[in-house]
A = this chain, B = another copy of it.
Amino acid sequence: MSDPLRLGIAGLGTVGVGVLKILRDQAELIEARAGRPLVATAVCARSRDKDRGVDISDLAWEDDPVALAQREDVDVFVELMGGSDGPAKAATEAAIAAGKDVVTANKAMLAVNGQALAEAAETAGHVIRFEAAVAGGIPVVKALTEGLSANRMERVMGVMNGTCNYILTRMQSAGLPYEAVFEEADRLGYLEADPELDVGGIDAGHKLSLLSSIAFGTKVDFEAVELEGIGEVTIEDIQQAADMGYRIKLLGVAQMTGRGLEQRMQPCLVPATSPLGQLEGGMNMVVLEGDAVGQIVMRGAGAGEGPTASAVMADVIDIARGIRVSTFGQPAAGLRAARPASSAVPAPYYLRMALLDRPGALAKVAQALGDNGISIDRMRQYGHTDETAPVLIVTHRTMRSALESALSDMAGTGVVSGKPVVLRIEEV
């Protein structure tokens, strides 16, 4: 039997503890699959004495993750601290410089520094793996990088923040407004310390930018992701969308278009009967579309001790098995810088607006759409409240630019009160 593969684990939160438990509980099974034993030799975390429900007394302790990453008795540096820069990045760089492979669950670090880190690792002949950074337990990084490697990818989509999906489905099922469900999620401990990472779409946007890079052979470009959170989604829109056969999801979409790489993370309508539409609660789902394979859908838990540790350990076992694939599926130095494209693909849109009670108001709105070449799929006007009447419109496919022009024309008519709600309908 070969020598053990020795892990140094930085960060003993939920995921780190999950990794230690798997190493302890499944040692025999993993050794059979990996072809060699896997052992943790050293750890570091904020507090040494905290009771984590797992014994770390036989592991070497380091206060400094950089020191951990440089230890002689560590072959693989497992980075579970989080944070785009700071200690996580410093320790990862130290690990690469010290000749270690790296496994990380840190989407923020890779979204911001992934290109440089991958180049450094590949120059040094080492690997950075990050299955746990995207969609938790779903082995989607592997599916995209290896399982679909013969495909020219056409589109990658995903619901990749379980907290947002929980909030949106709970709003619908309980008929509650955003604020109430947000508070509920906070009480349940579902939110990050900085909730904007979740509800602002940042966390999910990080993940999307990593999948984009693999799918399209481009440098990670998180800055180019159009980010829109769920804070503006109203219970009215959720209910109106449901009435018309849709669900509202915080959906990430990346696709290569003739104008460049489009990356969006925003609330979208999807058909209620589609797999994405049917995704309820805290689950994650990723949809991968390739020219040969068609559409592959993967569903599972996007967070939590077991699922995330499962993904971390799969990367570690890959390394033990000698599997060495470039971080983003091809050498980082050869990744292209994508030209960012904004809404370059036509789509149907959902519009909700308050129409002033004036003769011909509806006709003026319809005229503004028609003048911009936008045809209407469905329109509903409801009874008046105060001086305005709610109007819902589902358009046929149109370019976002044409829609913006129509919205500007509508504003000029003086019959629309306030700013219309505009949500893209993603065809899935």
Contacts and interface: CB of A to CB of B under 8 A. Distances in A.
Interface in A109-139: 131, 137-139
A132 to B, nearest CB: 11
Given A292-B22, A293-B307, A294-B307, A329 B33 contact: yes
A294 B290 contact: no
A150 B301 contact: no
Contacts of A405: none
Contact of A142 (B32, B34, B147, B297): B147
A34 to B, nearest CB: 7
Interface stretch (A202-210, A230-238, A308-316): A308-316
Contact of A298 (B298, B307, B323): B298
A428 interface: no
Q: How many copies of this chain sit in the oligomeric assembly?
A: 2
A144 B102 CA distance: 22
A330 interface: yes
Interface in A33-91: 33-35
A310 B137 contact: no
A258 interface: no
B317 A150 contact: yes
A324 B322 contact: yes
A318 interface: yes
A325 interface: yes
Contacts of A301: 293-295
A322 B143 CA distance: 17
Interface string A303-341: 010110111011011100111110001110010000000
Contact of A148 (B35, B310, B334): B310
A173 interface: no
A146 B275 CA distance: 25
Interface in A326-363: 329-331, 334
A324 B322 CA distance: 8
A402 to B, nearest CB: 33
A213 to B, nearest CB: 13
A217 to B, nearest CB: 7
A149 interface: yes
A32 B137 contact: no
Contact of A137 (B296, B300, B331): B296
Interface in A260-306: 273, 275, 278, 290-301, 304, 306
Contacts of A143: 139, 142-143, 147
Nearest to A325: B321
Contact of A318 (B33, B35, B146, B311): B146
Contacts of A291: 306
A270 to B, nearest CB: 14
Nearest to A150: B313
A26 interface: yes
B146 A29 contact: no
A413 interface: no
A151 B278 CA distance: 27
A195 to B, nearest CB: 25
